[in-house]
Structure 1
């Protein structure tokens, strides 16, 4: 059970017509009793795959995210990030947002995207007034949150660009938010609970042609995902335009949000030299 200051944000799910993606995470214990967690079962040593009590899967809900600025991550590098342990087996990561604000975010693989406190959002001057609102399903019920895009998110040597985030209007207590899958899904991930370390590796396999540490198939999926988002948001905005009102205005803002993300993905693809066959 999470500490009281994050109750209601255990799992975020988009309800505004957005599907939920699911990914399996795997855990096992080595000879020293150290717990390992990964989203890539091929990395699990063969001798641990027969475990009945230490090898398991559980659901998470990663959300796609979208690169924007130039800065490559070597395809062979693995980055270890020191975490701050909390009671109950939870961890805090120190995260740099938009090169200007340092925030303490709780690691949460069950959260579909990064969630920020209103305080941090104000420090970043994110322009929440013009941001589209989307309903999130939380343990405390539905909460309408502004949807924004962060230019850059960095933890240690790991970074991602144009990462979607939601801003929680409610008090989040001692933490600045949640570190969800809109950032973590940029990497292969392992959690060393014993030593309080998060291990992030590029998505591309060793020797595989990659662009910013990601294979061409990853880029292709992002283009397809965002094209679908733009079309869906446009159809909704068109359907609501005649009736006007707050809901119609919000639908139009959401359409513009996804159009912006798609354009930034195109710009990023050009900068990293992505072949045309992956840009569709």
Structure 2
């Protein structure tokens, strides 16, 4: 049945008009990758990739080892220079922007970061303020408030004067996340922030990231290995294999049995958790 609308006309008569469908509002793009080819030396790993990172959402990259997830993240963060294509941040090519200008708009938490021995938590978190400082503008009240806020939201304020190497793995990871948050950028890239953490701590870290992102309106791009963790938290899921993007989009449409087989070679059932509104991967034990 066609939708209709009414319009009052002369003599109080009513004319029925067809209701014109309104197009869905286009999502703002925080980061745009266009025809990107990149790698190490003469060996390209990424092959002609196109990707749009929706603003204010959590985009998670998954795929088998060596598929190019971390390479894509590093290229977006300006660590790797592409041989072809562009990465656009707020309408500018990140590889043509000054380093400090990029760091004021985009933070990166690399995989497996290591802090100097004896470095205290507050000292580590304060490093996130470096992009906002210069010879003429040293430590300010705004810097202190940003560091205090980052430690508070990551629940590490009580460790402020402790050495990083005296903390547990999960606590140390919160410190690194606090450093990235203290940078006060709208866009944060994280390379496997839950690696080597047990399941409870992985969930705690992801809850922290998503809650902070939602409350502060940040855009997150996260590389993960754990499929069900990715499905539980992603707004936008990107599946990669062999340096290419196989599928990308809303998690409930992308996280399918066919895509899991195509990307990971995994024979699994995908069931839907009605309470969480999310899909779950169940490996086929008979396969």
TM-score past 0.5 threshold: no
**TM-score under structure 2 length normalisation:** 0.25
**Larger RCO, structures 1/2 (Cα 8 Å, 6+ apart):** 1
Larger Rg: 2
Please state which structure has a larger fraction of its residues in helix: 2
